[in-house]
Structure 1
Amino acid sequence: MSVPRVALVYGLAVTGRAVARALAEHGVRVVAADDHPSAEGRSLAELLGVELLDAPDDATLRSIVAGVEAVFPSPGIPDRHPLMRIAAEEGVPLMGEFDLAREWDARPIVAVTGTDGKTTVTTMVAAMLTASGQRAVLAGNTDVPLVAAIADAGADVFVVEASSFRLGHTQRIVPQVATWLNFAPDHLDVHASLGAYEAAKARLWAYLPPGATAVANADDPVVMRHVPPGGAVTFGVRQPAGFRVTGDQLVTGDGDVLLAVGELGRALPHDVTNALAASATALAAGATIDAVREVLRDFRGLPHRVELVGEWSGVRWYDDSKATVPHATVAAVSGFESVVLIAGGRNKGLDLTAMAEAGPRLRAVVAMGEAAGEVREVFAATCPVVEVDTGIEDVVARAAELARPGDVVLLSPGCASFDWFGSYHERGAAFQEAVRVMVGSRAMEVQR
């Protein structure tokens, strides 16, 4: 599908603003709308001379949609929004930033999707390609949308974090390497159903060009049932796979040893899986095996992803605030023997009972936020559960009371942050500060 001559951009957050700017710069007449326009969105609309509709009613929206050739919903506009229904009824296609990038730029794309691990794996892949002498630029579900990143004339390859929000609104994405990490229920507050979420992820492999490589998690049955007819390079630790662990060594599909598990910068179970996925992806995209080994040794993880905050009286404290789905919480807990789990927040329409799988490793649970009651019900028959609704400082204090030497206290909420905090970053930072304050005050008490 070619670029439209007139388009509606709905939502002027980071990606919507980038799309509106790019369309306008390419001579497309743009109309914009936003349910809650920000100052940044209003300023951009004024700068571009774009009409901005503030929370249009259905009749107004229908008249606008009927007069455009394509609709660009910002990532996160839910499937239940009237925009989706009206666009379908008017026969106007939805498009996304990946469509524009495909039309305007022919440089290779390495795309990564999955419920968990996208940011970590794309970061590792970009580092591996950079260490191999390519100029790799991170884009997509990051601070830089792909449609903005392609303005960088010096980039050799774009490593794209492809969220379901972006894939679901895309007509066609044509990556040279396309990696699907895993699948678990998520974002049911945005997608119409679990099936719709799965279908959005599967679009990653729908239009692979000749010579492209699909990379698939052999351990995930949902991922494997979508493998393209041409097959895929696989990675995994439980099922037979190309990139695998043999003995204590990470091995490529050709049988080359990457390094020993103990040589990884971090070697929790999910770190091993991410290392295999990143290696398979980067090598398919042209990285050298020496560069892959270098990054695997040096990579220490990203903030708020099972990040060690500190240790006090034999108890280690970890921040895994990025874990906003039960699947991620279970994966984090599996890396430790005895855990005081901090979980809860705002449920994204998910079944939290999936977290029960972590039960055997738990000493206790501190349930917080809007979903505290749901969390309590999940673990009530497994271990002691304490509900806290008075802030993160009290959450940390109760966790400290429950922990014993040798335990790990793990913030891995399984829920979104938007009840108490503006983002998972903010939640993680608040947790880390509360831990430091608590440890500092207790150290002072000991010195007295």
Structure 2
Amino acid sequence: MSHSLLAKWQGIQRVVVVGLGVTGLSVVRYLQKLPCELSIKVIDTRAKPPGVESLDASIEVHTGSWQLDWLLESDLIVTNPGIALATPETQQALANNIPVIGDIELFAWAANAPVVAITGSNGKSTVTDLTGVLAKSAGLTVGVGGNIGVPALELLADDVDLYVLELSSFQLETTSSLKLAAAAYLNLSEDHMDRYQGMEDYAEAKQRIFLHADKAIVNRAEPETFPKNDIPVVSFGFDEQDFGLVWLEAQEYLSKQGQPIVAVEDLKLVGRHNIANSLVALALLDSVDVELASVIPALKTYSGLTHRCQLVVDNDGIKWINDSKATNVASTLAALSGLQLTGCLHLLVGGVGKGADFSELAPVLQSLNVQLHCFGQDGDLFVPLHSSALRWETMEQAIKSFHHKLKAGDLVMLSPACASFDQFKNFMDRGDEFTRLAQHYTKFSS
């Protein structure tokens, strides 16, 4: 344990971990590995919390309710990001001057390599994953996680060159000393209003990412993403400033300060939102002195996170896009925004609509060369949205009907705007089935 980390733990003996699951278990495992004598207790208000069976007998556990005495007797509380700081029991501990932190703060105490982090209402998982992939392609040893994939504490290692973290507003609430080489704030839209008092409260939590950042990466189109503190700012957007777009010989390029980096048409990622995501990843890597030319091959081949506008087949100019993660209207609208179409879009929609109003899709569909394929339990709700709409029982029936007619420039996209549990286990199962069908019928057609 380093001297600086040892100093952080000075005087701390009794630690209470609040909330289990993946994050809570990572906290317990981390605490048990520390070379200092700690009494560790766990509270989870669920009767049978996930992961409780993994705890060893040395750890006292209280489930099914709060155990206020444990909180008030502790030296430190490490709380799960899913538990609001406004919870009365947490507030009582804070009123008694007992520190309440999260796993990201513990990570901040221990991390010895540079850290970049990403927050925002939408797109942060893709940016985090892409940044990690590109950094690895440049030869760095990279730890990627946080709110995506691996918990931050499980990334800690002596041989890591760079950490890339996705951070939610919930995680940022309990983080106060995280030093970042660069912090990206992608966008802000209404979310988690059941947790926050309003948009201002939610935005304030996101702003915490800039507390100890050396540089801010912000969205030129959204002033709300700019830091309130005085740190250097690099912006991204769809004009020629900072990280943006330029036209050269009738081609659009991602650029840095007007200098072209890579042609948009060379990217496998689909949609304007993914162009923005690519710009952010480049800006983050540039902030930690990664040579951008070295990551271009990996950027060209990156096809996205599984089930999120993921290119799964590109055959003879016909692209198949798995966006099964689009379980609501807003997600499907984002997927359709700025599609570069030279042929026909075969759009697969439907499933369990959860009472949603799908009428917002109609004007967007009118602007596209689209053939709408509606399937599943609530497929009927999509039929009135476009004159091309065809009704099918299953996704496979739809694909079977058109796969042999596809031509170069056509795009087949599953972006269902619905939940999946009428016909599938979950959205991943639905996306996997789409990918299987794409590969099968592509092979069948060629």
Provide the C-alpha distance between the structure 1 equivalents of 2:402 and 2:375, rounded to a whole number of angstroms.
13
Shift of 1:227: 5.6
Q: 1:342 aligns with which of 321, 326, 349?
A: 349
1:282 is displaced (CA, Å) by 0.4
Aligned equivalent of 2:432, options 425, 429, 433: 429
Cα distance, 1:246 vs. partner?
0.7
Structure 1 residues 325 and 39: CA distance shift in structure 2, 3 A: closer
- Distance apart, 1:141 and its partner CA: 2.2
Deviation per CA, 1:276-317, whole angstroms, max 9, x where unpaired?
Answer: 111111011120122132332332333222234458999864
1:224-269 deviation line (CA, Å, top 9, x unaligned): 4x464334101111x563111110222113x432122233344642
**Residue correspondence of structure 1 range 386-397 to structure 2 within 5 A:** 394-397=394-397
2:221 paired with 1:219: yes
Tell me which of 85, 88, 111 is aligned to 1:85.
Answer: 88
Structure 2 match to 1:159: 164
Provide the identity percentage: 25
Q: Counterpart in 2 of 1:10?
A: 18
Matches within 5 A, 1:203-218: 203-205=208-210, 207-209=211-213, 212-218=214-220
Q: How does 1:364-443 map to 2 (within 5 A)?
A: 364=372, 366=374, 372=378, 376=381, 380=384, 394-397=394-397, 408-414=411-417, 424-433=427-436, 439=441
Q: In the TM superposition, what are the counterparts of 1:234-253 in structure 2 within 5 Å?
A: 234-237=235-238, 241-247=241-247, 248-253=252-257
Q: In structure 1, what is the Cα distance between the partners aligned to 2:120 and 2:158?
A: 29
Q: Distance in 1 between matches of 2:346 and 2:315?
A: 15
Amino acid in structure 2 at the alignment position of 1:136: V
CA distance in 2, matches of 1:259, 1:213: 24
* Alignment partner, residue 359 of structure 1: 365
Indicate whether 1:72 and 2:72 are aligned: no
Per-residue CA deviation, residues 361-399 of structure 1 (Å, 9 max, x unaligned), is: 354363756xx59x948x8555677898xxxx7244357
User: Which of 252, 272, 276 is residue 275 of structure 2 equivalent to?
Assistant: 272
Contact 1:282 1:292 in 2 (8 A): no
The question of 1:256 aligning with 2:251 is answered no
Whether 2:121 is the aligned partner of 1:126: answer: no
Contact persistence 1:5–1:29 (CA under 8 A)? yes
1:303 alignment partner AA: T
AA aligned to 1:214 is A
RMSD across aligned C-alpha pairs, in angstroms?
A: 4.0
Report the counterpart of residue 23 of structure 1 in structure 2. 31
In 1, Cα distance between equivalents of 2:253 and 2:340: 21
Q: Is the 1:114–1:163 contact (alpha carbons within 8 Å) kept by the matching residues of 2?
A: yes
The answer to whether the 8 Å contact 2:245/2:255 transfers is yes
- CA distance in 2: counterparts of 1:108 and 1:121, whole angstroms: 17
User: Structure 2 vs 1, CA of residues 10 and 113 (structure 1 numbering), >3 Å: closer, same or farther?
Assistant: same
Contact 1:180 1:216 in 2 (8 A): yes
1:291 and 2:294 aligned: yes
Deviation at 1:180, TM superposition (A): 1.6
* Letter of the structure 2 residue corresponding to residue 53 of structure 1: H
**Counterpart for residue 232 of structure 1:** 233
Following superposition, the deviation at residue 25 of structure 1 comes to 2.9
Matched position secondary structure for 1:167: helix
SS at match of 1:31: strand
Q: Deviations over 1:155-200 (max 9, x none)?
A: 1221112233322343443211111222333455666655554333
Q: What does residue range 66-215 of structure 1 map to in structure 2 within 5 Å? A: 66-75=72-81, 77=82, 79=84, 84-91=87-94, 92-150=98-156, 152-187=157-192, 194-205=199-210, 207-209=211-213, 212-215=214-217
Q: In the comparison of the two structures, how many residue pairs are matched? A: 419
Q: For the structure 1 residues 329 and 36, does the alpha-carbon distance in structure 2 shift closer, same or farther, using more than 3 Å as the test?
A: farther
Q: Distance in 2 between matches of 1:382 and 1:20?
A: 53
Q: Which moved more, 1:1-10 or 1:298-307?
A: 1-10
How far, CA to CA, are the matches of 2:162 and 2:318 in structure 1?
A: 43
Cα separation, 1, equivalents of 2:114 and 2:267: 28
- Higher mean displacement: 242-251 or 291-300: 291-300
Q: Which stretch of structure 1 is more off in the superposition, 274-283 or 332-341?
A: 332-341
CA distance in 2, matches of 1:394, 1:187: 33
Return closer, same or farther for 1:289/1:417 CA change in 2, 3 Å cut-off. same
Q: Deviations over 1:67-118 (max 9, x none)?
A: 334433324x254x9x823211342554211111111233211111223332
1:330 aligns with 2:330: no
After TM superposition, the score normalised by the length of structure 2 is 0.78
Q: Which moved more, 1:104-113 or 1:320-329?
A: 320-329
Residue ranges of structure 1 left out of the alignment (5+ in a row)? none
SS at match of 2:159: coil
TM-score between the two structures when normalised by the length of structure 1: 0.77
For residue 172 of structure 2, give the secondary structure of its aligned residue in structure 1: helix
1:17-44 CA distance string (max 9 Å, x none) = 011121233343222133154574322x
